[in-house]
Structure 1
Amino acid sequence: MRRNAVRLFLAVLVALAAVLTGTAAPAQAAVPESPAVTYTNPIAAQRADPHIFRHTDGYYYFTATVPEYDRIVLRRATTIQGLSTAQEVTVWTRHTSGIMGAHIWAPEIHFIDGKWYVYFAAGATDDVWAIRMYVLEGTGSNPLTATWTEKGQIRTTWESFSLDATTFTVGGVRYLAWAQRNPAEDNNTSLFIAKMANPWTISGTPAEISRPTLSWETVGYKVNEGPALVQHGDKVFMTYSASATDANYCLGLLTASATADLTAPASWTKSASPVFTSNAATSQYGPGHNSFTVSEDGKSDILVYHDRSYKDISGDPLNDPNRRTRVQKVYWKADGTPDFGVPVADGVTPQRFSSFNYADRFVRHWEYRARIEANVSPLADSQFREVAGLAGTGTVALESANFPGYYLRHKNFEVWLEKNEGTAAFASDASFYRRAGLADSAGVSYESYNYAGRYVRHYNYALYVQTPSTATDRGDATFYAQ
Structure 2
Amino acid sequence: MRPAFTRRTVLGLAAGSAAAAVTGLAAGTARAAVPASPGVSYTNPLAEQRADPHIWKHTDGYYYFTATVPAYDRIVLRRATTVQGLATAAERTIWTRHTSGEMGAHIWAPEIHFIDGKWYVYFAAGRTDDVWAIRPYVLETSAANPLTGTWTERGRIALPLDTFSLDATTFVVSGVRYLCWAQNDPAVGTGTNLYLARMANPWTITGTPVMISKPTAAWETVGHRVNEGPAVIQRGGKVFLTFSASATDANYCMGLLTASASANLLNASSWAKTPDPVFRSNDATGQYGPGHNSFTVSEDGKSDLLVYHDRDYRDISGDPLNDPNRRTRVQKLYWRSDGTPDFGIPVADGATPRRLSSYNFPDRFIRHWEFRARTEADVAPLADSQFRTVTGLAGGGTVSLESANFPGHFLRHRNSEVWVERNDGTARFAGDASFFARAGLADSAGISYESSNHAGRYVRHYDHLLYVQAVSTATDRADATFYTQ
- Normalising by structure 2, report the TM-score: 0.94
**How far has the Cα of 1:29 moved from its partner?**
2.0
Give the match for residue 70 of structure 1.
Answer: 73
Give the match for residue 129 of structure 2.
Answer: 126
**Counterpart mapping for 1:255-404 below 5 A:** 255-404=258-407
**Letter in structure 2 aligned against 1:151:** R
Q: Output the CA distance in 1 between the equivalents of 2:441 and 2:160.
A: 62
Q: Output the CA distance in 2 between the equivalents of 1:204 and 1:83.
A: 38
Is residue 176 of structure 1 aligned with residue 179 of structure 2? yes
Is residue 117 of structure 1 aligned with residue 120 of structure 2? yes
**Counterpart mapping for 1:38-117 below 5 A:** 38-117=41-120
SS at match of 1:204: strand
Give the match for residue 8 of structure 1.
Answer: none
**How far has the Cα of 1:204 moved from its partner?**
0.6
Q: Output the CA distance in 1 between the equivalents of 2:145 and 2:187.
A: 43
Is residue 437 of structure 1 aligned with residue 437 of structure 2? no
Kindly provide the CA deviation profile for residues 36-67 of structure 1, in whole angstroms up to 9, marking residues without a partner as x. 01000000000000000000000000000000
SS at match of 1:441: coil
**Letter in structure 2 aligned against 1:63:** T
Q: Output the CA distance in 2 between the equivalents of 1:140 and 1:109.
A: 13
Is residue 241 of structure 1 aligned with residue 240 of structure 2? no
Q: Output the CA distance in 1 between the equivalents of 2:235 and 2:391.
A: 34
Is residue 449 of structure 1 aligned with residue 464 of structure 2? no
Q: Output the CA distance in 2 between the equivalents of 1:420 and 1:299.
A: 34
**Letter in structure 2 aligned against 1:86:** A
SS at match of 2:477: helix
**How far has the Cα of 1:170 moved from its partner?**
1.1
- Structure 2 unaligned regions, length at least 5: 1-18, 20-25
**Letter in structure 2 aligned against 1:290:** N
Q: Output the CA distance in 2 between the equivalents of 1:25 and 1:413.
A: 23
Give the match for residue 9 of structure 1.
Answer: none
Q: Output the CA distance in 1 between the equivalents of 2:210 and 2:188.
A: 14
Kindly provide the CA deviation profile for residues 170-212 of structure 1, in whole angstroms up to 9, marking residues without a partner as x. 1111111000001211121000011110000001101100000
Is residue 158 of structure 1 aligned with residue 161 of structure 2? yes
CA contact (8 A) 1:276 1:343 kept: yes
SS at match of 1:110: strand
CA contact (8 A) 1:187 1:212 kept: no
**Letter in structure 2 aligned against 1:469:** S
- Structure 1 unaligned regions, length at least 5: 1-15, 17-22
SS at match of 1:381: helix
Q: Which moved more, 1:336-345 or 1:29-38?
A: 29-38
Q: Output the CA distance in 1 between the equivalents of 2:306 and 2:174.
A: 22
1:223 pairs with one of 223, 226, 231: 226
Q: Output the CA distance in 1 between the equivalents of 2:333 and 2:471.
A: 33
Give the match for residue 470 of structure 1.
Answer: 473
CA contact (8 A) 1:26 1:357 kept: no
Give the match for residue 141 of structure 1.
Answer: 144
CA contact (8 A) 1:46 1:66 kept: yes
Which structure: larger Rg? 1
Identical residues among aligned pairs (%): 74
Q: Output the CA distance in 2 between the equivalents of 1:456 and 1:404.
A: 21
Q: Output the CA distance in 1 between the equivalents of 2:339 and 2:37.
A: 14
Q: Output the CA distance in 2 between the equivalents of 1:416 and 1:253.
A: 34
CA contact (8 A) 1:218 1:243 kept: yes
Paired residues in the alignment total: 462
CA contact (8 A) 1:191 1:208 kept: yes
**Letter in structure 1 aligned against 2:274:** S
**How far has the Cα of 1:365 moved from its partner?**
0.3
Kindly provide the CA deviation profile for residues 432-459 of structure 1, in whole angstroms up to 9, marking residues without a partner as x. 0101110011111001001111000001
Is residue 251 of structure 1 aligned with residue 223 of structure 2? no
**How far has the Cα of 1:233 moved from its partner?**
1.1
Q: Output the CA distance in 2 between the equivalents of 1:382 and 1:81.
A: 24
**Letter in structure 1 aligned against 2:436:** Y
* CA RMSD, Structure 1 to Structure 2 (Å): 1.1
Q: Output the CA distance in 1 between the equivalents of 2:158 and 2:266.
A: 17
Give the match for residue 15 of structure 2.
Answer: none
SS at match of 2:104: strand
**How far has the Cα of 1:26 moved from its partner?**
4.2
**How far has the Cα of 1:293 moved from its partner?**
0.3
**Letter in structure 2 aligned against 1:423:** T
**Letter in structure 2 aligned against 1:141:** A
Q: Output the CA distance in 1 between the equivalents of 2:96 and 2:59.
A: 27
SS at match of 1:100: coil
SS at match of 1:83: helix
**How far has the Cα of 1:27 moved from its partner?**
2.0
1:480 pairs with one of 476, 480, 483: 483
Q: Output the CA distance in 2 between the equivalents of 1:187 and 1:255.
A: 24
**How far has the Cα of 1:30 moved from its partner?**
2.3
Q: Which moved more, 1:352-361 or 1:308-317?
A: 352-361
SS at match of 2:345: coil
**Letter in structure 2 aligned against 1:468:** V
**How far has the Cα of 1:262 moved from its partner?**
1.2
Kindly provide the CA deviation profile for residues 100-146 of structure 1, in whole angstroms up to 9, marking residues without a partner as x. 00000000000111110000000000000000000000121000001
